[in-house]
Amino acid sequence: MYNLSLYDIRKGLLSRKFSSVELTKLFLDRIEKFDGLNAFITVCADNALESAAQSDKKIADGSAGELEGIPLAIKDLFLTKGIRTTAGSKMLENFIPPYESTVSRKLLEAGAVFLGKTNMDEFAMGSSNLTSYYGGVVNPWSRDKKLVPGGSSGGSAAAVAGRLCVAATGSDTGGSVRQPAAFTGTVGLKPTYGRCSRYGMVAFASSLDQAGPITQTVRDAAIFLRVISGYDENDSTSSRESVPDFESFVGKSLKGLKIGIPKEYRIDGMSDEILKFWEIGAAMLREAGAETMDISLPYSKYALPSYYIIAPAEASSNLARYDGVRYGFRAKGVSLNETYENTRAEGFGDEVKRRILVGTYVLSAGYYDAYYMRALKIRKLIRQDFQSAFEKVDVVLTPTTPNSAFAFGEEPKDPVTMYLNDIFTVTANIAGLPGISIPIGLDEQMRPLGLQLIAPYFKEELLIQAGSALEKSANFPTLKEIYHELH
Amino acid sequence: MNYIETSSGKWEVVVGLEVHAQIISRSKLFSTASTEFGISPNENVSFVDAALPGTLPVINSFCIDQAIKTGLGLNGTVNLVSFFDRKNYFYADLPQGYQISQFYHPIISGGYIDIENENDELKRINLDHIHIEQDAGKSIHDQSPTKSFIDLNRSGIALMEIVTKPDMRSADDAAAFLRKLRSILRYLKTCDGNMDEGSMRADVNVSVHRPETEYGVRAEVKNVNSIKFLTTAVNFEVARQIEILESGGKVDQETRLFDSSSGKTRSMRSKEDAQDYRYFPDPDLPPLILEQSRIDAIRETIPELPDAKASRLQREYGLPRYEARIISSEREMADFYEKALSGFNPDKDLAKLLANWIIGELFALLNKHGKNIANSCISPENMGELVTLIKTDVISGKIAKDVLELMWSSRKSPSHIVEKNGWRQITSMDTIENSVKEVLADHTDKVAEYKSGKEKLFGFFVGQAMKKTSGKAYGQMLNEVLKKILDEEETSVQR
């Protein structure tokens, strides 16, 4: 039963094949059983069972919401009222939010059951989940050695891949939904910037952050996305664009659809296997009726460097509020400045400190024009790149990552190489475009690989349409067994 | 030119102001929390104001309208596109760790205010720009030796920062500017201008230089929160800087703090210690894009402003410039004045008489009772009636003061009070003649002294005759009658 998709579980619940309480118990048991994956920071069993019981009543009296009774996991970056929300940081270890994020509120209003809060890189800064104050997450696809699930939504991706929940929320600032989805053989969708409200999401980089679902199937992503999308008066950057029925694009013919293959995404050091799957993916889309063509996105190579200016700059400012004055962790000091220094020195991990330092530097007088302003110019050029590409094609196809999941201890030791994990995903964030990662196959080491589709603004339905065709042809294998007690 | 002269020669003073004016609005700039003043600490604090994780600013469009109105009222250009920027610094009363402001592209560019100096010369003070920003909270350090307390009620309240060009040349210029600015903002109802409540605060930049040379190095003085302190602060800075320069030193470019108890400024931080605020566009807020139609609609709501009103009062009622300026310095006063005049067709003298009675007597009463003209116990209609009674000799100015007091306490009309108390001035020739004759008959000795040249006694006879009429005799008439009778007696004696 735990292997069922969200779509099938919803059918089962509505036809009363099983109850939400049964389902919730099943997943809570699995969370306990596979505790070694460290996918959750906080499990809220009592809350979950209580809301499952309520959902069962609603299903019985015919007032079920769109996600009624479906057990989900929530990335620990979404504020959940009354449930501890840490953002993977010591800074918020004991922070109990007094309000609900818009995304999680919409899920609750649709009847979803929250199993718990998933592990993540600290303040969503990382591509491995290794920067979490609560320890790394183990990728359920690990065999002989512990693999990372990717990041920053590593806990959510691992929970979905390991079937510890039906689906989960993630957030994507530079690839934090799509990269872990690719590493764990799940579907990860980053919507257009502004599609989902950021209200109540712990901010990393405000102009890039976007919530998104991590699911087992493309159809599940479509169902999930529709629930969390829409304008929110609490977020001035959220869009009033109407929200289509994404699910109706599942399985829709690709006839007449043009797929662009950007040559700039062939980079040095990319594995042959990735290149092979990229070609296979293109062939699958052709077989499904689409036309593929080579395109050029010349400024893409500047996306990563500009991302690592813009994101830290915004983060350095966004994280200034964690000062130990009003909430969260506070270390003692004899003066205000010393309290700040001690609080932030002890409360933040190394990667967060590194990005705050970088961000502070690039915004400093004398460097602002050289770094930040130039990064904004490149951002504009990258947007223009895509705009001209989308005059010729409907969707762009790229690999999601340049490599598959790496093992604990084998992660790149210098941060810049680590940042290369995001090289194919950051462009969508920089441009604000929607992207999806679809599991395409396993490499020789039996590690999942994903392909990425990028669509024009507010055209997520094209991702669903093309993504469901890829998914169908790829026939990605189901995970048979979880070796979670690796060392 | 307005130079300061010392033993070493002439100095020219240059002053520029940055005025923080709290926007009148029921809720804060980016949150729905109330802006009510004087409530208990941390009462008006939303999740946004406390900068909880995940909170986002949502612009209060009324505050934007208020800023547009201010810009138009101060003759500025409203920019159709402006942006919000973050000013980053750490302080315990700044919950976000940054202040949302407009650094690169403010909502209003340019503008000016005309001031008048002591010689009634018109002087134009140009504005650089006006931008919108959020206020910080308050740190309270004097409640405990070891702890500081934070009150976030003010955190997030909308401010306008009105930045002038360095166009002022004296403390008086600066004071006149601030008074005029406050008057206009109050007319516009965009800022209440209450400096003692902190809803208007000024930072002042002061430098001195020799005439015909480049401007000197300026010091910025913070925490100037009254017009009197502004004058004190500028004068202190001017004296301090001249003394430094005359003894061969150099003025530091620095930020200084004004201490209102000593009237002095002291160094707060030097240019080297100046903070790098790392301004950058706030990614949580889209560009502020304004429709021309919105600006036009706001323009329609701008009332007649003090300068225009003063000119019209001069033109329409023949009011002298001085009175016209005082009456029009406050919208409520000008409204009161015009309403008081509206009952009749006033001549020039009456218009001036009314102005003087408002500026003098009514204001004294308002001050005494701690009220302002808007909640005065005396209606404009009654005030108009009172000066008409004076003007038409129904009562004397002296009696009118008593009438005014009673008008305040009883809220009755002046004619009612005059009738009830029998205070109508006596203008009957017979009555006045009788009382004069009685007085002269009672004091034949004094009359004799008067006639032998002690003319000072005339006043004594007036006083006695007044007493006989309980002070109600029409003074001018009494004088004439007395003089006539004394003259007559004299001629009759000679004859």
In the prediction, which pLDDT does B458 show?
Answer: 87
Reported ipTM: the value is 0.96
Cβ partners under 8 Å of residue B53, min gap 6: A79, A85, A87, A92, A95, A97, A202, A203, A321
Residue B495 above 50 pLDDT? Answer: no
In the prediction, which pLDDT does B272 show?
Answer: 72
Distance from CA of B47 to the nearest CA of A (A): 9
Which of A266-270, B109-113, B369-373 is most confident? B109-113
Q: DSSP secondary-structure letter at A136?
A: P
Residues B338 and B259 placed together within one structural domain of the fold:
no
Q: End of a domain among B298, B332, B361?
A: B298
Residues B44 and B81 placed together within one structural domain of the fold:
yes
pLDDT digits (tens, 9 = 90+) for B134-146: 999 999 999 998 8
Question: What is the rounded CA–CA span in Å between residue B427 and residue A124?
Answer: 94
Question: What is the rounded CA–CA span in Å between residue B17 and residue A158?
Answer: 59
The proportion of chain B whose per-residue pLDDT surpasses 70, expressed as a percent, equals 98
Q: Which residues of A439-462 are buried (b: 16+ CB within 10 A; e: fewer)?
A: bbbbbeeebbbbbbbbbbbbbbbb
pLDDT digits (tens, 9 = 90+) for B300-350: 999 999 999 999 999 999 999 999 999 999 999 999 999 999 877 778 888
Question: What is the rounded CA–CA span in Å between residue A189 and residue A175?
Answer: 10
Query: What is the set of domains in chain A, with CATH numbers?
Result: 6-252+435-474 (3.90.1300.10)
Whether A127 sits among the annotated catalytic residues: the reply is no
Residue B494 above 70 pLDDT? Answer: no
Q: End of a domain among B365, B390, B421?
A: B421
Residues B16 and B100 placed together within one structural domain of the fold:
yes
Mean residue pLDDT across chain B: 92
Residues B271 and B376 placed together within one structural domain of the fold:
no
Q: What is the mean pLDDT of residues B344-363?
A: 89
Q: How confident is residue B248, by pLDDT bands cut at 50, 70 and 90?
A: very high
In the prediction, which pLDDT does B491 show?
Answer: 59
Nearest CA in chain A to B281: A314
Q: Work out how many domains chain B is built from and give that number.
A: 3
Distance from CA of B158 to the nearest CA of A (A): 18
Dig out the tokens for A182 from the structure.
């690719």
Residues 84-113 of chain B with CB under 8 A from chain A are: 86, 88, 90-92, 95-98
Residue B489 above 90 pLDDT? Answer: no
Residues B78 and B224 placed together within one structural domain of the fold:
yes
Indicate which residue of A55, A89, A104, A152 is catalytic. Answer: A152
Indicate which residue of A19, A55, A75, A142 is catalytic. Answer: A75
In the prediction, which pLDDT does B396 show?
Answer: 84
Nearest CB neighbour to B88, from listed A97, A235, A320: A320
Residues B258 and B354 placed together within one structural domain of the fold:
no
Question: What is the rounded CA–CA span in Å between residue A215 and residue A112?
Answer: 14
In the prediction, which pLDDT does A486 show?
Answer: 58
In the prediction, which pLDDT does A484 show?
Answer: 58
Collapse the DSSP code of A174 into the 3-class scheme (helix H, G, I; strand E, B; otherwise coil) and give the result: coil
Cβ partners under 8 Å of residue A474, min gap 6: A281, A284, A438, A439, A440, A441
A205 interaction partners in chain B (CB closer than 8 Å): 283
Q: Could you tell me the residue range of the domain that residue B311 belongs to?
A: 304-421
Distance from CA of B93 to the nearest CA of A (A): 9
In the prediction, which pLDDT does B72 show?
Answer: 98
| Subunit contact B88:A336, Cβ cutoff 8 A | no
Collapse the DSSP code of A36 into the 3-class scheme (helix H, G, I; strand E, B; otherwise coil) and give the result: helix
Whether A171 sits among the annotated catalytic residues: the reply is no
DSSP letters along A289-349, please? T-EEEEE--GGGGGHHHHHHHHHHHHHHHHGGG-SSSSSS-----SSHHHHHHHHHHHHS-
CATH of the domain at B454: 1.10.10.410
pLDDT digits (tens, 9 = 90+) for B451-482: 888 888 888 888 888 888 888 888 888 888 88
Dig out the tokens for A342 from the structure.
């001690």
Q: What is the mean pLDDT of residues B230-247?
A: 96
Whether A404 sits among the annotated catalytic residues: the reply is no
Nearest to A436 by CA among A280, A221, A183, A153: A221
Nearest CA in chain B to A103: B54
| Subunit contact B58:A320, Cβ cutoff 8 A | no
In the prediction, which pLDDT does B12 show?
Answer: 96
Nearest CA in chain B to A373: B280
pLDDT digits (tens, 9 = 90+) for B3-19: 899 988 999 999 999 99
Contact between residue A99 and residue A55 where contact means Cβ atoms under 8 Å apart: no
For residue B180, the Cα-to-chain-centroid distance in whole angstroms is 7
Nearest CA in chain B to A339: B92
Residues B255 and B365 placed together within one structural domain of the fold:
no
Dig out the tokens for B95 from the structure.
């919950």
Residues B23 and B122 placed together within one structural domain of the fold:
yes
Indicate which residue of A176, A238, A404, A437 is catalytic. Answer: A176
Residues B369 and B459 placed together within one structural domain of the fold:
no
The proportion of chain B whose per-residue pLDDT surpasses 90, expressed as a percent, equals 72
Residues B439 and B405 placed together within one structural domain of the fold:
no
Residues B388 and B455 placed together within one structural domain of the fold:
no
Q: What is the mean pLDDT of residues B427-436?
A: 84
Q: Does A205 touch chain B (CB under 8 A)?
A: yes
Residues B48 and B183 placed together within one structural domain of the fold:
yes
Q: Does A92 touch chain B (CB under 8 A)?
A: yes
Q: End of a domain among B366, B396, B421?
A: B421
B90 interaction partners in chain A (CB closer than 8 Å): 320, 323, 337, 340
| Residues forming a β-bridge with A259 | A292, A395
In the prediction, which pLDDT does B427 show?
Answer: 79
Cis omega (within 30 of 0) for bond into B183: no
Question: What is the rounded CA–CA span in Å between residue B400 and residue B396?
Answer: 6
Which residues in chain A land under pLDDT 70? 484-487
B95 interaction partners in chain A (CB closer than 8 Å): 321, 325-326
